[in-house]
């Protein structure tokens, strides 16, 4: 019975705040784009924020929807509500020092609602830049880097599947060399 209550509680919390990614891997110079949705009936007027730190209870708020942004991020980061129940976080010019644990939060009486985000920035090959001469490969690569391979595969129709498979094989071959 306890497991059932725990399951219901975790589903209720996740329904209040959800982000499209919880693990983000990017190379130096790329842009982090994170889209989050929340329960607009409860939290439409609540402050949303981005904070850094291993623990949700001690993380340092870096920016929020009330207009605050830490000085070192002002030129390359923003957080904004982008609709009735959505907000978006964007950080440009990612650096190795940006690697770490972050939290997306919504201010709430007693305990904020938070989602953990793991960001890994590497010096890896900028695959998309290398593929700019092959237009189809470039667009597929850009889509993968922006949205992830699962979403990309879901959006392509069956008639594009053979072309997609061929292009993905070329991309993965390039990555492995």
Write the CB contacts of 100 (distance below 8 Å, at least 6 apart in sequence). 52, 53, 54, 119
Would you say residue 9 has pLDDT above 50?
A: no
Percent of the chain surpassing pLDDT 70: 62
Q: What is the pTM of this model?
A: 0.65
Is the confidence at residue 118, as pLDDT, over 50?
Answer: yes
What range defines the domain where residue 78 resides?
12-122
Mean pLDDT in the chain?
78
- Same domain as 100, residue 77: yes
Each residue's pLDDT tens digit, 51-63? 999 999 999 999 9
For residues 115 and 131, state if they share a domain.
Answer: no
- pLDDT tens across 136-159, in order? 555 555 555 555 544 444 444 455
Same domain flag for 63 and 113? yes
Residue 117's CATH number: 2.60.40.10
Q: Tens digits of per-residue pLDDT, 37-51?
A: 999 999 999 999 999
Q: CA-CA distances (angstroms) from residue 40 to 16, 72, 76, 96?
A: 9, 31, 28, 35
């Amino acid at each position: 019975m306890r497991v059932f209550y725990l399951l219901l509680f975790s589903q209720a919390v996740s329904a209040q705040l959800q982000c499209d990614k919880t693990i983000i891997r990017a190379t130096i110079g790329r842009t982090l784009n994170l889209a989050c949705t929340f329960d607009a009936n409860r939290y439409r007027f609540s402050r949303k924020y981005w904070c850094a730190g291993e623990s949700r209870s001690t993380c340092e708020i870096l920016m929020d929807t009330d207009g605050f942004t830490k000085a070192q991020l002002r030129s390359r980061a923003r957080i904004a509500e982008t609709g009735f129940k959505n907000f978006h976080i964007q950080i440009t010019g990612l650096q190795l020092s940006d690697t770490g644990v972050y939290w997306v939060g919504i201010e709430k009486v007693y305990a904020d609602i938070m989602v953990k985000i793991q960001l890994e920035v590497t010096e890896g090959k900028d695959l998309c830049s290398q593929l700019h001469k092959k237009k189809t490969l470039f667009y597929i690569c850009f889509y993968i880097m922006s949205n992830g391979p699962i979403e990309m595969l879901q959006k392509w129709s069956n008639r594009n599947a053979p072309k997609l498979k061929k292009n993905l094989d070329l991309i993965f071959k390039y990555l492995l060399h």
